[in-house]
Amino acid sequence: MSDSLERLYLAVLAARDLDPATSRTARLFQRGPSKMAKKLAEEAIEVVIDAVNGDSEAVIRESADLLYNLTVLWASAGVRPEDVWREMTRREDMLGIAEKLPKSPMKLPKVASPRVAARRPIVALESRAARKRH
Ligand SMILES: N=c1c2ncn([C@@H]3O[C@H](COP(=O)(O)OP(=O)(O)OP(=O)(O)O)[C@@H](O)[C@H]3O)c2ncn1[C@@H]1O[C@H](COP(=O)(O)O)[C@@H](O)[C@H]1O
């Protein structure tokens, strides 16, 4: 799977500077990140609808469209597939470590200032894994 995405990423990079009249990818780059984001969101919704309707063939087709539009957005944001694989490996390793942590939920430090309080609560990966087990 990662090989296919990496090949697609290289194809998207190669298409970026083609003629927008004939290349959808070049057209998406010409129209910018907000159009790319809109297309990605549309595809995600199409996958959801087809999955809820139990149409697995359509889920396959729309998932390919979703991954294409995600790859375009990655390229636009300067994200490479290997950046995402590295983060996924980090989480996999962290979850592995979590399995070996004491089962009691971690006591997170009390929030000091209102500015910090406004941020999303930091939930340690281990406690999410612990929650899943109960
Ligand atoms: N992998 C894809 C790919 N997957 C999906 N799509 C396009 O994305 C569309 C799916 O989104 P939509 O359903 O919204 O498309 P739509 O219904 O035509 O509506 P609009 O997007 O036109 O508004 C498909 O119709 C395809 O045209 C793709 N277009 C290009 N690629 C690859 O990207 C590379 C560059 O191709 P060009 O963009 O054609 O240069 C090549 O390797 C291509 O194989």
More confident position, 109 or 19: 19
Pocket test for ligand 1, best of 45, 65, 73 (most atoms within 8 A of CB): 65
Give this complex's ipTM. Answer: 0.89
Instruction: Give the contacts of 69 (CB within 8 A, at least 6 positions apart).
Output: 28, 36, 39, 40, 43
Share of the chain above pLDDT 70, in %: 70
CA of 114 to the centre of ligand 1 (A): 46
pLDDT at 124 over 80: no
Q: Which fold has domain 2-79?
A: Helix Hairpins (1.10.287)
Q: Where are the domains of the chain?
A: 2-79
Q: Is the pTM of this model over 0.80?
A: no
Confidence at residue 63, expressed as pLDDT on a 0 to 100 scale = 98
Confidence at residue 41, expressed as pLDDT on a 0 to 100 scale = 98
Q: How far apart are CA 62 and CA 47, in angstroms?
A: 5
The string of DSSP codes covering 56-119 is HHHHHHHHHHHHHHHHHHHHHHT--HHHHHHHHHHHHHHHHHHHTS-SSPP-PPPP-SHHHHTS
